[in-house]
Structure 1
Amino acid sequence: MRQQLIEELIDYKAFNEQELKDKELMIQLLKEEPDIFLRSNLSHHFTASAWVVNERKDKVLMAYHNLYDSWAWLGGHADGEEELLHVALKEVQEESGLTHIKALSPAIFSIEILVVEGHMKKGSYVSSHLHLNVTYLIEASETEELQIKEDENSELKWFSLEEGIKASSEPWIRENIYRKLNEKLTHLS
């Protein structure tokens, strides 16, 4: 699976300079780091996110993330799983309660290296580190009942694409990631 991800990243067409630079570093780290899919790698490890859109692709599902105190996309740590699409789908189900979801493509939708500031989790300090994040485009029905995951989020809500950007209180993520995801979504149509 690791070699497959390396090949997918090599073939991935970077959307902008951020993706180009992040792609190079991700490939390098995949080749060098044996524990890159585990949180035991305290400085950097893989995560998978989902940009969850409705059938018309004019709304995005976001969770009010307790740790970041912000509206955010859904996703989580690879925790040893090298099939990142599987991680993204699993995280959407766990964080939203949605069961009728589908990847609009098995291909990577976006890549980004994200800085995670030091924080407390379950009573222990987690040092600042990097998430080597791969994002997939996932479709869900906005009529399906949502269920919050209380240990991670306190609310779930469908937003228009622009409202989803504005809802985030993380300026860099809002302007450089969520705006990029929406722009990429419009290029699919």
Structure 2
Amino acid sequence: MEPSEFKDYYEILEISPNANSDTVDRVFRYLAQRYHPDIQDTGNQHRFVEIVKAHETLRNPESRAQYDIEYKKYVGRYAIAPEVSREPEAPYEDSVIQEKLLSLLYVKRRRNMNNPGLGNLELERLSGCPREFLEFHLWYLKEKGLISRLDNGLMSITATGVDQSNQGAKRSRAAKFLTDSRGLVMA
């Protein structure tokens, strides 16, 4: 496979090369549902085809083993900075990550008002967002007044952040109801 033809299936599925088969399947279902061409708001034929091909390759242990050999060569020789390798849909992906971070902080505050914060490592682990990208999202959410840093150094959602999170939840529920009524859920 030529370097210019190489497709990073781990990046396409937004998973770690160490992801187990259950994670590969779960993320595939989520992304396939989101980018299915029949979905009006988020459908993307090209992205959907890439997601299906990545899943077909990574779900089979034999084809994944062969792919991993090429992947290691690619990463060793042709990897570029993560900031440059992002796809054109980065602003859309950024909003998804930011909604996820707000949701995590919302749940933490709701469950424990006396200790409502989460640290960067915990946010990185729970969100699946690598540290180099997490810092940007935390900066952005903090600048917008949606989160704040507590005296103990942990991040916590603000009242404005709760309002924003609730708006995102309403949009998600509306999209799910729309999707379910059209029979496009690929569970």
TM-score (norm 1): 0.31
The structure that has the greater radius of gyration is: 2
Higher helix proportion, which one?
Answer: 2
Higher relative CO (Cα under 8 Å, sequence separation at least 6) belongs to 1
TM-score (norm 2): 0.31
